[in-house]
Amino acid sequence: MTIVRASQLVKRFGPVTAVHELNLTVGEGEVAGLLGPNGAGKSTTLHMLLGLITPDAGSIELFGKELSRHRTEVLSQVNFAASYVDLPGVLRVREVLDAFARLYALRRPAHRVAEVIELFELGPLGRRQMMALSSGQRTRVQLAKALLNAPRLLVLDEPTANLDPDAGDRIRGLLSRLAAENGTSMLITSHNMREVERMCDRIHFLSGGRIVAAGSAKELAGRYEAEDLEEVFLKVARG
Ligand SMILES: Nc1ncnc2c1ncn2[C@@H]1O[C@H](COP(=O)(O)OP(=O)(O)OP(=O)(O)O)[C@@H](O)[C@H]1O
Ligand SMILES: [Mg+2]
C-alpha cells in the first residue's frame, strides 16, 4: 500500500518558490529520507504533508485518501517530531505526555504513556519540567509524544540533530525496529549522512524545491560515482 503520495506539489512564499512540482511516494514500512541543502524545501514539504500549510498546487494522498477531504481521519494516523517545536515549558514530562494522550483520545492513555516512557527511558525525567531538560532530553520527549498514537506514518524533521552519538545511535535503532516490526512508515529529513545511509530505504534529494535525484544510498552512490552519500550530497548540491 502507498502510504504517502504527493503529486506535483507547489508551494510559494511570496516571490520564493519553496517547492516546485514535487512528486514523492512512501510505501508501507518504508523509511524514506528527504535530503538537501538548507532552504531546499524539506520542511516545507513535510509541513504540507502534515496539513500544517496548504499547497498552492498539486495533491496529497495519505493511506490512499486525499488529505484535504479526509483530514481528521488520515491525520489521526500520523505524527510528527521536530527539534524546532517547543512543548509547554512549565509542564512536567509526564503531564505533557498525558495531555497529548488525552488530545489523541487514546483508548488506554495511562497505559500508552507508560509504554512510551519506558521506550525512551524517560522514567527518571517524568517529574521534570520541560524547560529544565537538555535539548537531547527534550528530543526524546518529542519522539515519545510522536509515538503515543502508534502512527502508521511518522514524519521526523531532523529528529536526532540534538542527540549525542550514543543517544542518536539508540534512537536510530529504535526507529528502525519500529519500521521493521510494526510496519511504521517514516519520512525523515537529516543532515547526518551516515544516519540516512543506515536508516533510509530510499532517499529523495531536494535542491531548490525540486527533486533532483532519488534511489537507495547504494544506487545514488553508483549513479554519481561517489564513495558514499556525503560525496553524493556534495555533487548534487553543487550541481
Ligand atoms: N513561512 C515562510 N515564509 C517565507 N518563506 C519561507 C517560509 N517557510 C519557508 N520559506 C522559504 O522556503 C524555502 C524552503 O525552506 P525550508 O524550511 O523548507 O527549507 P529546508 O530544506 O527545510 O532547509 P533546512 O535544511 O535549513 O531546514 C527557503 O527559501 C525559506 O526561506
Ligand atoms: Mg528544514
45 pLDDT higher than 90:
yes
Among protein residues, the one with the nearest Cα to ligand 1's atom 25 is 38
Question: Positive or negative CA dihedral for 207, 211, 213, 216?
Answer: positive
Report CA 122 to chain centroid distance, whole Å. Answer: 21
Pocket of ligand 1 from Cβ distances under 6 Å? 13, 16, 18, 36, 38-44
- Residue 71: the pLDDT is 97
User: Which residues are within 5 Å of ligand 2 (an ion), measured at CB?
Assistant: 42-43
- Please report, for the chain, the start and end positions of each structural domain, with discontinuous segments joined by +: 86-150
Closest CA to 159 of 200, 215, 213: 200
Q: Which of 24, 34, 43 to mutate to test the pocket of ligand 1 (most atoms within 8 A of CB)?
A: 43
Which pLDDT value is given to residue 83? 83
Nearest CA to ligand 1 atom 16: 41
| Residue 43 CA to ligand 1 centre (angstroms) | 7
Fill in the amino acid letter for 120.
Answer: F
What is the phi/psi pair of residue 77, to 5°? -105, 15
Choice from 10, 12, 13 to test ligand 1 binding pocket (greatest atom count within 8 A of CB)? 13
Confidence (pLDDT) at 5: 98
Neighbouring CB atoms inside 10 A of 108's CB total 10
Among 51, 58, 55, residue whose Cα is nearest residue 72:
51
pLDDT tens digits for 69-127?
A: 999 999 999 999 998 888 999 999 999 999 999 999 999 999 999 999 999 999 999 99
Rg (CA), the chain: 18
Q: What is the residue with the minimal CA distance to atom 12 of ligand 1?
A: 18
Convert the pLDDT of each residue in 179-220 to its tens digit. Answer: 999 999 999 999 999 999 999 999 999 999 999 999 999 999
Q: Tell which one of 16, 46, 190, 193 to mutate to probe ligand 1, the residue whose CB is within 8 A of the most ligand atoms.
A: 16
Is residue 238 predicted with pLDDT exceeding 90?
A: no
Block residue for cell numbers 479526509 = 70
Strands ordered across the beta sheet of 2-13: 16-27, 2-13, 57-62, 65-66
Note the residue count of the chain.
239
